Amino acid sequence: MKKTFGAFVLTSVLLLVACSTETEQKEDNLVTLQENHVPFELAIPSHFPDMVIPKDNPLTVAKVELGKQLFFDPSLSVDGSVSCASCHLPSKAFSDVLAVSQGVKGAVTERNSPSLMNIGFHPIFMREGAVPTLELQVLSPLEGETEMAHNIVLACERLNQDSTYRARFQEVFGQSATPFTLTRAIAAYERTLIGGDAPFDAYLLGDSTALTPLQQQGYALFTSDRLACSSCHSGVLLSSFALEHNGLKPRDTDPGLMRLTLNEADRGKFKVPSLRNIALTAPYMHDGRFASLEAVIEHYNKGGDGVTNQDERIRSLSLQEDEKEALLAFFDALTEASGKGE
C-alpha cells in the first residue's frame, strides 16, 4: 500500500526522537571524537548567505566523504538498484532528466526531482516545504515506496554487515550506522554542494563584462516591475524559498502546500525553486510538465493558467521575441561549473 504523507511525517518524528535519546549517552564521546577530526571548510562565496549548520552535525572531512559514498550507493535501496544519485544526477546539477523520477522496480514518483546544488542554504525542503532539515529529509526517499522503498533500521543493519562501512562509521561517529549517524553523514555531504561560480556571480561581484549585452537585458527584464520574476526568484540564490502559486493548474493528486495545511487557499502553492543551473535541470516545475525553458516563458507570458489562488504577479506580459531571447540568455548565465559535475 502506498505510504501516506502523514504516515511519513509520523514515522520520521518517532524515529528521529527515538534516535536522539538512544545516542544521548554517547553525545560526550561524539563531541570529543569530532573535536579530534579535521573540520571540513565550506567554500562559501563571499556574496552568498551564511549556511546554518546544525550543532549536532558539524562538518568534518571524514564525515563528508562517508556521506558522499552513501549518496552514490544503491545498497541503500531495498533491492540495491537505486541510489540518491540515480535521481539527483551530478551532471544535471543533481536533478533528474525525467519529468518524474523512477525509483525501485520502475516505480514512478509523483514529482520532479529538484536540483541539490546549494541545497544547504535552503530553509525548508520538498516541493511543499514540509521538511525542516536535510537530516530529516533523508528518511523520505529512503523509505518512500516509489523511491528506495527501504526501512532505515534495516538499511543501517545492512551497512553494518559491511566491515568497511562499519569501520568508517566508527571512525566518524564512534558508533555504527544508525538512523542518526546515517542521516547526519548524508546531510553533511549535501551541504558541500555549493556553486557560486556562474557568469552571473562574476557579474554580481563587479565584472560587468561577465554577462553579454543580451544576458544583461534578460537580467534587467527579470528584475523589472513589469515581469516581477525577482520578487519570488529573489536574491543571490534566485529564490525567496516561500510557498507561492505561480499560476499552474494543479493536478488533483498534488495540491502542494495544501497537503500540509489542508487549507484550500494553499492549493497549488509550491516552494519557489532556485533558478541556479536552470539551463541544466529540465524538465521544469514540480511535476516536470514543461520540457523546455521556452515553454516556461510561454507559461508566464500568457499570465499563467488563470486558476484559483494564482498570485496576482502572474499576469499577461506581452513579451516581444527579443525579450524572450534575452530571458533565455540570462538563464544560461546561471550555470555553475560544479552544476555540470566539473
Site for ligand HEC contains 179 (CB under 6 A)? no
Backbone angles phi, psi at 210, to 5 degrees: -70, -25
Binding pattern for the stretch 58-77 against ligand HEC, x by CB under 6 A and - elsewhere: ------------------x-
The cell for 236 is: 543571490
Indicate whether 248 belongs to the interface with ligand HEC (CB under 6 A).
Answer: yes
Distances (CA, A) of 308 to 161, 232, 236, 255, 258: 53, 19, 30, 12, 13
Q: Which residues are bridge partners to 284 per DSSP?
A: 290
* 147 tagged catalytic: yes
Among residues 87 and 156, whose Cβ is nearest to ligand HEC?
87
Least separation in angstroms between residue 186's CB and ligand HEC is 5
- Contact map string, positions 194 to 233, toward ligand HEC, x by CB under 6 A: ---------------------------------xxx-xxx
Q: Under the criterion CB under 6 A, does residue 246 sit at the interface with ligand HEC? A: yes
Q: Which of 142, 198, 211, 328 binds ligand HEC (CB under 6 A)?
A: 142
Which residue in the set 135, 143, 201, 244 belongs to the binding site for ligand HEC (CB under 6 A)?
244
How far apart (Å, rounded) are the C-alpha atoms in residues 116 and 121?
A: 10
Residues in the chain: 342
Candidate list 147, 190, 244, 336, residue with the active-site label:
147
C-alpha angle 341/148/107, rounded to 5°? 100
Continuous H helices in 73-151: 84-87, 134-137, 139-143
Residue located via cell numbers 562559501: 44
287-306: contacts with ligand HEC (CB under 6 A): 293, 296, 300
Count of residues of this chain found to bind ligand HEC when the rule CB under 6 A is applied:
52
What are the grid coordinates assigned to 245, written together? Answer: 502559486
Binder to ligand HEC among 281, 309, 335, 338 (CB under 6 A)? Answer: 281
List the catalytic residues: 147
